[in-house]
Amino acid sequence: MTLHWAHVTVSYGLVLGGFAAIAIATALRLGAARRRLEALDPRARRMQDGT
């Protein structure tokens, strides 16, 4: 493999790794936001109590 293709391969790996990191961070933030909303939403507590 030439040096050019080595750089191309490494670049693709970095791009895919970057997108994977963004996707993981987004999923974690979404989960945290969902938990925060459940904790702060008074309607959710009333619906759980059945009143």
Per-residue pLDDT tens, the chain, 51 aa: give them. 799 999 999 999 999 999 999 999 999 999 999 999 999 988 876 677 765
SS3 4: helix
In degrees, rounded to 5, the angle at the alpha carbon of residue 29 between the alpha carbons of residues 23 and 30 is 90
Q: Which residues are CB-neighbours of 48 under 8 A, at least 6 positions away? A: none
SS3 1: coil
Q: Are 38 and 44 a contacting pair, CB within 8 Å? A: yes
φ/ψ of 2, rounded to 5, equals -80, 170
pTM over 0.95: no
DSSP 31: H
